[in-house]
Structure 1
């Protein structure tokens, strides 16, 4: 079974996340993994059964890359999208972060577009559907992480959710009152599907360059929680069990 892992982007400890994902993939001896830092390697995507992305402010730069992603899914490929895969960040002159819809074909394919998050703090994640292979036997849990707020761009099936009412002052889209914020969802595309898990923030000392030269307190957030690793393992099994 072939997995293509894209791990790259801004403001996160991508090296840490890449290593942790590769360790999880190595638990299954039949998996062979290719690794990339952008969406340009169309040959590896074409050969893969499962695509995994851990990115932030990294999107396809060519129309053919989006077309390749859609073709991969339509043919039956599976895509495990993590954390900031749907994030596009632009810093305004006033320091507030905009999240423009610059690549609507990409965010439309994913089913959501990142819009902001409040400061990192504990929040409750609730199981929305308990009859899915990703959630079966799991209970609601609390986690300290970035609570990702998103705009839906297509039909999705929410499997886990949280809620949020308040402000995200760092982001232009600041005011929120959401009873159901997707944390884990599935989206069918052709014969394939996307599984999106918004948890998994991580940051080391030097990952905010050039915005800040040094981040004093490294963050691991959901990576510190066994339930997150369980969800990742289930996501890998989901991808390989159903991919064509």
Structure 2
């Protein structure tokens, strides 16, 4: 197995998004632009202490269901607590449903979505690399994920304006992207990224680039 600074995991045990190949290709390109190598895999056997020790960032790209082995979960938790980094994209909010640690680091769980439609992303002010390139009101089309509760213990980077689309369940405070630290590690989640064309959009690519930059800082 080759060494990679960014390990992109795309295994699914539930719904599989058509955008996964586009997302993996885009993340590989963005990693290379940041001077890092990248590898895409669906092999849960990649989650070993030795393999993860060579990773600057692990990306869970629209993974669904239980995609890690018990041994992989143990190794991944140790990696994150010890200073590793996770970028969880879109349907990764619906991964590892029976693993309490994963729910803890995300701060919440996926709870459905309305139909794909245009709406407005409200970007939090500040200089976080994942959102600094974005406009304060960003017009976007996606699935507009709902969650079981507001994420706990996180810094919210972007919210949905529920008045701009149909089917939101959170009201005035509907987080879409957030970050947090886990012991010595870092986690960033973005609910965006449903459609293949999202990964060709310059602003969304800037969002992902900024996420990778923060996670490796």
**129, 134, 157: which one aligns with 1:133:** 129
TM-score by length of 2: 0.82
Matched, 1:200 2:193: yes
- Which residue of the partner structure matches residue 238 of structure 1? 214
Q: Is 1:222 matched up with 2:215?
A: no
Distance 1:55 1:135, change over 3 A: closer
Question: 3-state SS of the aligned residue for 1:179?
Answer: coil
Cα deviation per residue 1:184-217 (whole Å; 9 max; x = unaligned)?
1001101111011111013xxxxxxxxxxxxxxx
Higher strand share: 1
1:162 matched to which residue of 2?
A: 160
Report if aligned partners of 1:80, 1:196 keep a CA contact under 8 Å in 2.
yes
Mapped contact 2:83–2:185 kept (Cα < 8 A): yes
Aligned partner of 1:146 in structure 2 is: 143
Cα distance, 1:8 vs structure 2: 2.9
Q: TM-score, normalised by structure 1?
A: 0.74
d(CA) in 2 for partners of 1:39, 1:153: 27
How big is the shift at 1:182? 1.4
Does the Cα contact within 8 Å between 1:50 and 1:80 map onto a contact in 2? yes
Structure 2 match to 1:106? 102
Q: Which structure has the larger Rg over C-alpha atoms?
A: 1
CA deviation string 1:13-44 (max 9, x = no partner):
22222122212222234x12232215431232
Helix, strand or coil at the partner of 2:171:
strand
Separation in 2, partners of 1:118, 1:137 = 27
Q: CA RMSD in A?
A: 2.5
Give distance in 2, aligned partners of 1:156 and 1:123: 23
Shift of 1:176: 2.1
**1:127 deviation in Å?**
1.4
Q: 1:18 to 1:137 in 2, by over 3 A?
A: closer
Runs of 5+ consecutive residues of structure 1 not aligned to the other structure: 89-99, 169-174, 203-219
Query: In structure 2, how many angstroms separate the alpha carbons of the residues matched to 1:49 and 1:77?
Result: 7
Q: Does the aligned pair in 2 maintain the 1:3–1:33 contact within 8 Å?
A: yes
Q: Identify which of 100, 120, 143 aligns with 1:124.
A: 120
Confirm or deny: 8 A CA contact 1:8 1:58 kept in the other structure: no
Find runs of 4+ consecutive structure 1 residues off by over 4 angstroms: 165-168
Equivalence for 2:38: 33
Change (3 A) 1:237 1:179: same
> Once the 2 structures are TM-superposed, how far is the Cα of residue 177 of structure 1 from its aligned partner?
4.0
